[in-house]
Amino acid sequence: MHTARCYRTRSTDHATAPWFLALAIRILSGVGVTVFLALAPGSALAQSTYVGAALVGDVLRSTHTESAVGLDNSTDGEAIGFALRVGTPLGSRWGIELEFVRPGEIESEFSGSIPLASIDAVAVAQISRVVPPGITLPPIFPPILPYSLRSTQRHSTLSTSVWFNQSVSSRVSLVYLAGMGFYRATYESESSFEIFPALPTISTVPAGFPFLTTKTVNYGVRPLAGFEARIKLTEHADLVPGIRLHGLESAWLLRPAVGLAWNF
């Protein structure tokens, strides 16, 4: 049987998830308050071509297995990143947008031990030679192979979406988005194994194994949906808080964001 203990860094601790979700709720609550205060008679907003930048948060929730045998080794986590956007209207109330997001890395750390089925016959023979006659060693069963694993992942996306603009007042409009996200996901893992301390005297068994590093890059296309507000600050500048949900392979990626847009 394989029993693992899981240790996570702060960036992957589930206790940090409510912080990001609370941030998203505060952003949307702030939008609601602003919309309420900004309701006033006036001409409808005329959307124009714009560029923007935003601070985003990645909240990753992926498929995982929970078992009573060992702790859950989930790769969920959170990170901070930035986004660059450019969009243009194609009609009076709708248009298209291109967005690039470069998030930070999500880190995970695991450690545990692997029970081995048996010890090599040569190793057993080496042990028997150094034991004085008449002394019986307690059986080492099962032999243990401790390990540690550290992994990082990053999900960069290039998204194309269609938006629909609903004017609320002369200063505020609500925007609904849907489209496709082209993502590049990188996974890096570093693992190490150590022989149980009872075996270092055996010359034929190494005291440890070198670090093994693996990097995997995945490309894919998944749908996205989002909601945001555009709050006019000046004639050309808008405050743009919002939230977007990206589909990934066996995972969801929630991205609350707040940024600025410049209208031409």
User: 213: which 2 tokens?
Assistant: 């590093």
Give the pLDDT confidence score for residue 25 in this predicted structure: 57
Cβ atoms within 10 Å, residue 106: 21
Give the pLDDT confidence score for residue 241 in this predicted structure: 97
pLDDT digits (tens, 9 = 90+) for 159-185: 999 999 999 998 999 999 999 999 999
User: 242: which 2 tokens?
Assistant: 């919002």
pLDDT digits (tens, 9 = 90+) for 78-98: 999 999 999 999 998 999 999
Pure H helices in the chain: 17-38, 121-130
pLDDT at 204 over 50: no
Express as a percent the part of the chain with pLDDT over 70. Answer: 58
Chain-centroid distance, C-alpha 225: 18
Give the pLDDT confidence score for residue 202 in this predicted structure: 44
User: 124: which 2 tokens?
Assistant: 């057993």
Q: Say if CB 177 and CB 193 are below 8 A apart.
A: no
Q: In which residue are the tokens 């589930």 written? A: 14
> Cα–Cα distances in Å, from 18 out to 27, 53, 149, 186?
14, 25, 26, 25
pLDDT digits (tens, 9 = 90+) for 97-155: 999 999 999 988 766 665 554 445 445 445 455 556 665 555 554 555 666 778 899 99
Question: Which of 115, 114, 112 minimizes the C-alpha distance to 148?
Answer: 112
Q: How far apart are the first and last CA of the chain?
A: 64
Q: Which has more confidence, 211 or 243?
A: 243
Is the bond preceding 241 in cis, omega lying within 30 degrees of 0? Answer: no
Give the pLDDT confidence score for residue 30 in this predicted structure: 54
Least confident of 47-51, 161-165, 222-226, 244-248: 47-51
Domains of the chain as residue ranges with CATH: 3-263 (2.40.160.20)
Q: Say if CB 57 and CB 155 are below 8 A apart.
A: no
> Average pLDDT for residues 49-55, to the nearest whole number?
97
Q: What is the mean pLDDT of the chain?
A: 76
Q: Say if CB 258 and CB 55 are below 8 A apart.
A: yes
Q: Which has more confidence, 58 or 107?
A: 58
Q: Say if CB 155 and CB 187 are below 8 A apart.
A: no
Cβ atoms within 10 Å, residue 248: 18
Give the pLDDT confidence score for residue 143 in this predicted structure: 56
**Coil vs helix vs strand at 15:** helix
> pTM score > 0.85 for this model?
no
**Residue 154 contacts by C-beta under 8 Å, 6 or more apart in sequence?**
79, 103, 104, 105, 106, 185, 186
Give the pLDDT confidence score for residue 137 in this predicted structure: 52
> Average pLDDT for residues 18-27, to the nearest whole number?
55
186 pLDDT tier (thresholds 50, 70, 90): very high
Hey, what's the torsion of the CAs at 231, 235, 237, 240, to 10 degrees? 10
